[in-house]
């Protein structure tokens, strides 16, 4: 598709680059162009306020002069007309050009409409989900999983090569405790059946025992030491706990449609520590402090980074550094994203700062990004383990499916495959709710809101998709682009939809640039709402053949973009509901 914003930028650039000090690149120019909130103001707007000082003229005058010059010298088919409003220069694009672009692109590329290959040849690693072994997969990990999964799809749609890594929390002193607890009471717990739950019970019991008896704590520490030294009994148990936990996590991933390219977690780096420690030593910044080895970050305004503890064990942070090194060598990444709660902001700041000290290509050091997100709040407050009101994720997903099933029963009990459909709606509702607001905001978890079929929800978008399918089915055919008469798409609501469709690619790009899937969720709600108005105001079937074909074609395109957009978020659509 032609990039209309770029075309406008070119036109403006030609008029503005009249003196040396006024060299503005096309990219800069593009970033100065805005899309007016009110479509009546035009398709693009160029604010002249910023130029006022340099040009020593009022913004309105600059806008007026630009308009006159463009009309005089650069008349083209793309711009229908130009208006000066306040200090803005507003552009209205020729509608048939937009219609033509959208329809041709759709005809060529329908399944991948809005995709591009701007990322081709670039490797992006996304580190997401990353739960801790033998600990409950909680709703915070769900956010990481869902946001990370969406980013994976979004970047892929833009042609990037994505590598999804589940950096499991599968190492740490807690394993010393688990091994001790299992040794003592393993037979009392059926860890094969529900591993995470049973292991958690063992963990709580042994932790309490440790508090009462210093000797037990000593034994736990010993176990961890043995594990680190490669003791076969301890390793065997560790592997068992790990394997069973992963199996359980995978059930959730399957429900959510999430896949990883690697499950290399913290433990994977244990035998790769010497190299990273050597590099830290070589940096000359590693200092001894009370038996531990740390890196002072005071000049950066941060607490010191703990590299090696006084008992010789490595830390979460050092393992992250080893992972950076390994990922650089093995994946040659152009970007490495960590989708992890905002509670770890300091951790990543420290890790990224220390990574700068390593003897490694600049590219790897400068392209580490923490993608933080907010908490999930119940209507009644924070979900936390300590207060005992933590909700198991599997139960939440099951509950959502159950509730969706009930709604289907009420609305359309005749439907075939109700269970299948309830799964798509129930899970889709949870994912959409998770991705609807700006990720950094805390999310409110409220069943009534997220399963509402008419609100700003996943089910509403799915429902709109299903409606497009029903219309096409009723018509009994899907017209081709050749049947579309552009004259029949002139009404405001049709044009609004065409413009939405035109902006899909830009929306996906924007979501990638800001690592913000909510940009896509919001787009989908707007598109679905625009379609509902279109549908209410226009007879799709039953007008003259040309009008019907044109409207059916719009319907088909909207359905396809809703489906693709949801797919980017990791949500499937039912064909009926």
> Which positions are catalytic?
135, 138, 141
Tell me which residues in 297-326 interact with ligand ARG (CB under 6 A). 320
Q: How far is the CB of 130 from ligand ARG (least distance, A)?
A: 4
Per CB under 6 A, the segment of 127-135, 205-213, 359-367, 372-380 that binds ligand ARG is 127-135
Per CB under 6 A, the segment of 128-136, 375-383, 491-499, 557-565 that binds ligand ARG is 128-136
Q: Is residue 136 within the footprint of ligand ARG (CB under 6 A)?
A: no
- List helix spans (H) across 78-194: 95-109, 139-157, 174-185
Q: Is residue 479 within the footprint of ligand ARG (CB under 6 A)?
A: no
- Partners of 27 in the beta sheet? none
What is the residue whose two structure tokens read 């037990």? 216
What is the residue whose two structure tokens read 């997220």? 450
Q: Is residue 127 within the footprint of ligand ARG (CB under 6 A)?
A: yes
Q: Is residue 167 within the footprint of ligand ARG (CB under 6 A)?
A: yes
How far apart are the C-alpha atoms of 508 and 118, rounded to whole Å?
A: 12
Q: Is residue 497 within the footprint of ligand ARG (CB under 6 A)?
A: no
- Which listed residue (130, 219, 507, 521) binds ligand ARG by CB under 6 A? 130
Q: Is residue 515 within the footprint of ligand ARG (CB under 6 A)?
A: no
How far apart are the C-alpha atoms of 527 and 69, rounded to whole Å?
A: 36
Nearest to 516 by CA among 431, 438, 428, 433: 438
Q: How far is the CB of 128 from ligand ARG (least distance, A)?
A: 8
Per CB under 6 A, the segment of 10-18, 79-87, 125-133, 485-493 that binds ligand ARG is 125-133
Residue 377 phi/psi, 5-degree rounding, is: -110, 140
Kindly list the strands in the beta sheet with 376-378, ordered across the sheet, starting from the edge strand earlier in the chain.
381-382, 376-378, 443-445
Q: Are strands 335-339 and 305-308 parallel, antiparallel or unpaired?
A: unpaired
Query: For residues 320 and 434, which CB has a smaller minimum distance to ligand ARG in the complex?
Result: 320
Binding mask 330-359 for ligand ARG (x = CB under 6 A): --------x-x-------------------
Q: How far is the CB of 170 from ligand ARG (least distance, A)?
A: 9
Per CB under 6 A, the segment of 96-104, 124-132, 255-263, 430-438 that binds ligand ARG is 124-132
Query: For residues 131 and 565, which CB has a smaller minimum distance to ligand ARG in the complex?
Result: 131
Q: Is residue 101 within the footprint of ligand ARG (CB under 6 A)?
A: no
What is the residue whose two structure tokens read 């060598």? 329
Q: Is residue 132 within the footprint of ligand ARG (CB under 6 A)?
A: yes
Q: How far is the CB of 342 from ligand ARG (least distance, A)?
A: 12
How far apart are the C-alpha atoms of 175 and 134, rounded to whole Å?
A: 9
What is the residue whose two structure tokens read 């830390």? 315
How far apart are the C-alpha atoms of 102 and 82, rounded to whole Å?
A: 22
How far apart are the C-alpha atoms of 118 and 3, rounded to whole Å?
A: 13
| Residues 566/465, Cβ–Cβ less than 8 Å | yes
Measured from each CB, the residue nearest to ligand ARG is 169
- Which listed residue (42, 149, 164, 169) binds ligand ARG by CB under 6 A? 169
Tell me which residues in 387-446 interact with ligand ARG (CB under 6 A). none
Contacts of 58 (CB under 8 A, 6+ apart): 52, 87
Query: For residues 101 and 127, which CB has a smaller minimum distance to ligand ARG in the complex?
Result: 127
Query: For residues 169 and 428, which CB has a smaller minimum distance to ligand ARG in the complex?
Result: 169
Q: How far is the CB of 214 from ligand ARG (least distance, A)?
A: 28
Query: For residues 7 and 167, which CB has a smaller minimum distance to ligand ARG in the complex?
Result: 167
Q: How far is the CB of 341 from ligand ARG (least distance, A)?
A: 7
Total interface residues for ligand ARG by CB under 6 A? 9
Q: Are strands 292-295 and 286-289 parallel, antiparallel or unpaired?
A: antiparallel
Q: Is 257 left (phi over 0), alpha (psi -120 to 50) or beta?
A: left
DSSP state of 297: -
Q: How far is the CB of 317 from ligand ARG (least distance, A)?
A: 9
Query: For residues 130 and 555, which CB has a smaller minimum distance to ligand ARG in the complex?
Result: 130
Tokens of 185: 């009471």
How far apart are the C-alpha atoms of 397 and 395, rounded to whole Å?
A: 5
Q: How far is the CB of 340 from ligand ARG (least distance, A)?
A: 5
Contacts of 52-55 with C-beta under 8 Å, sequence gap 24+, read 52/87, 54/21, 54/22
Q: How far is the CB of 144 from ligand ARG (least distance, A)?
A: 7
Helix (H) or strand (E) holding 85: strand 79-85
Q: Is residue 180 within the footprint of ligand ARG (CB under 6 A)?
A: no
Q: Are strands 335-339 and 123-127 parallel, antiparallel or unpaired?
A: parallel
- Binding residues vs ligand ARG (CB under 6 A): 127, 130-132, 167, 169, 320, 338, 340
């Amino acid at each position: 598709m032609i990039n209309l914003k770029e075309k406008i930028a070119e036109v403006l650039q030609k008029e503005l680059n009249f003196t040396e000090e006024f060299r503005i690149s096309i990219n800069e120019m593009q970033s100065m162009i805005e899309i007016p909130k009110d479509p009546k103001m035009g398709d693009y707007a160029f604010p002249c306020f910023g130029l006022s000082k340099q040009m020593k003229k009022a913004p309105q005058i600059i806008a007026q002069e630009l308009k006159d010059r463009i009309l005089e010298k650069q008349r083209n088919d793309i711009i229908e007309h130009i208006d000066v409003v306040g200090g803005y220069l507003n552009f209205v694009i020729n509608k048939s050009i937009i219609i033509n672009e959208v329809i041709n692109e759709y005809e060529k590329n329908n399944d991948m409409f809005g995709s591009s290959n701007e990322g081709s040849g670039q490797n992006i690693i996304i580190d997401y989900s990353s739960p801790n072994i033998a600990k409950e997969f909680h709703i915070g990990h769900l956010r990481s999983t869902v946001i990370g999964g969406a980013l994976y799809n979004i970047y892929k749609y833009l042609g990037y090569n994505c590598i999804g890594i589940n950096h499991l929390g599968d190492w740490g002193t807690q394993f010393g405790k688990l091994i001790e607890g299992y040794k003592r009471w393993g037979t009392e717990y059926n860890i094969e059946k529900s591993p995470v739950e049973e292991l958690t019970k063992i963990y709580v019991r042994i932790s309490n025992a440790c508090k009462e008896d210093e000797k037990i704590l000593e034994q736990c520490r010993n176990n961890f030491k043995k594990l680190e030294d490669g003791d076969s009994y301890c390793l065997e148990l560790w592997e068992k706990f790990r394997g069973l936990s992963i199996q359980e996590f995978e059930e959730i991933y399957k429900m959510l449609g999430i896949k990883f390219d690697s499950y290399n977690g913290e433990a994977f780096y244990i035998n790769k520590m010497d190299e990273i420690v050597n590099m830290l030593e070589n940096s000359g910044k590693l200092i001894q402090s009370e038996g531990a080895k740390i890196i002072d970050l005071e000049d950066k305004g941060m607490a010191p980074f703990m590299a090696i503890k006084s008992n010789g064990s490595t830390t979460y942070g050092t393992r992250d550094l080893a992972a950076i090194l390994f990922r650089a060598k093995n994946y040659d990444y152009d970007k490495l994203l960590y989708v992890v709660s905002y509670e770890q902001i300091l951790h990543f700041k420290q890790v990224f700062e220390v990574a700068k000290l390593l003897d490694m290509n600049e590219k790897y050091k400068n392209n580490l990004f923490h993608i933080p997100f907010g908490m999930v709040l119940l209507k009644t407050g924070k979900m936390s383990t300590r207060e005992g009101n933590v909700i198991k994720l599997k139960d939440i997903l099951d509950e959502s499916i159950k509730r969706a099933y009930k709604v289907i029963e009420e609305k359309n009990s005749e439907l075939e495959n109700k269970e299948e459909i309830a799964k798509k709606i129930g899970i889709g509702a949870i994912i959409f709710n998770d991705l609807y607001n700006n990720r950094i905001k805390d999310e409110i978890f409220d069943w009534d809101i997220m399963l509402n079929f008419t609100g700003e929800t996943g089910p509403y978008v799915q429902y709109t998709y299903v409606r497009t399918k029903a219309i096409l089915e009723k018509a009994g055919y899907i017209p081709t682009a050749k049947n579309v008469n552009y004259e029949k798409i002139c009404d405001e609501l049709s044009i609004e939809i065409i413009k939405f469709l035109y902006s899909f690619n830009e929306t996906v790009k924007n979501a990638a640039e800001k690592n913000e899937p909510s940009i896509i969720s919001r787009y989908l709600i707007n598109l679905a709402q625009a379609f509902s108005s279109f549908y209410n105001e226009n007879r799709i079937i039953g007008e003259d053949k040309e009008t019907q074909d044109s409207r059916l074609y719009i319907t088909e395109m909207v359905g396809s973009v809703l489906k693709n957009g949801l797919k980017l978020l990791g949500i499937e659509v039912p064909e009926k509901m």
